[in-house]
Amino acid sequence: MEAAPDITILRLLAAFGLLIVPLTLSFFLRLGFVRQLFISAGRMTGQLFLMGILLVYLFRWDNPWLNVAWVVVMMFFACFSAMVNSKLSFRHFFLPVFLAYFVGTGLILLFFNKVIVNYENIFTARLVVVVGGMLLGNSLNSTIIGISHYYEAIRKENKRYLYLLSLGADQQEALLPFFREALRAAMRPFIANMATMGIVSLPGMMTGQMLGGADPETAIKYQIAIVLAIFTALTISVALSIYFTSRQAFDEYGILKGSLFRR
């Protein structure tokens, strides 16, 4: 199959032309999105172009250390973004969440590259940077859901937590129901999404590979493997980020610290 033809700048501008529809709607219905839409679309374009330039060099040099370093930088951004989108304090949460991403995504990335794909060089850019990016990008949302759900539930259902403690639960036992519910909330959307894949949605990686000229059969196999890898990576990342943060979120009397939340 032949690779996708390049898109000229002029034709890319046509893609921006599509924005007229949401912009018009936003303007006339006063959705209050006009400014935000410009900023978001602008950022997306800028970031992707920068990423494109970076990828050119990462692929050209293809230095294992550099590739891994870049994934770590992405983890840093993922972590930062997870924090911004939750109401939790950076000081308490940044490091543990980062560590959770590092372990969760790192392990699955290694597994994917070594066991599933088994390239000669498992630290090659097209695997580490591209697959790593997919794993991270997709665990991000779930981590935000999971960690916010957990701490907000403990705060909102404080009576339930204290009641369990008073019933003789140790801290882990009293937190277990909250942990369970947070994991459910974080995993549920992806599980639902998996069930409709291929019918309702054609996933991004597959679309990309096929446009890039890959054989549909290979593209599908990659897609199946990446979906399973993403799901496992997000499960580990969510569970670990709750586990790691939980260790320092409570005082020695077992009470949730008020300083965990940003105002």
Nearer to other proteins, 197 or 256 (CB): 256
Pick out residues in 55-74 that bind other proteins (CB under 8 A): none
Smallest gap from residue 159 Cβ to other proteins (A): 5
Size of the site for other proteins (CB under 8 A): 19
Verify binding: residue 256, other proteins, rule CB under 8 A: no
Smallest gap from residue 257 Cβ to other proteins (A): 12
- Which string of x and - marks every residue 142-181 that binds other proteins (by CB under 8 A)? ---------------xxxx-xxxxxxxxx--x---x----
Question: Which residue has 């979906």 as its token pair?
Answer: 227
Nearer to other proteins, 11 or 156 (CB): 156
Smallest gap from residue 144 Cβ to other proteins (A): 23
Nearer to other proteins, 174 or 234 (CB): 174
Smallest gap from residue 248 Cβ to other proteins (A): 16
Nearer to other proteins, 44 or 162 (CB): 162
Contact 88, 260 (CB under 8 A): yes
Pick out residues in 206-245 that bind other proteins (CB under 8 A): none
Nearer to other proteins, 23 or 169 (CB): 169
CA–CA gap between residue 32 and residue 28 (Å, rounded): 10
- What tokens were used for 171? 């801290």
Verify binding: residue 254, other proteins, rule CB under 8 A: yes
Verify binding: residue 10, other proteins, rule CB under 8 A: no
Contact 97, 238 (CB under 8 A): no
Nearer to other proteins, 92 or 155 (CB): 155
Smallest gap from residue 234 Cβ to other proteins (A): 24
Amino acid 65 reads: W
Q: Which residues bind other proteins (CB under 8 A)?
A: 157-160, 162-170, 173, 177, 252-255
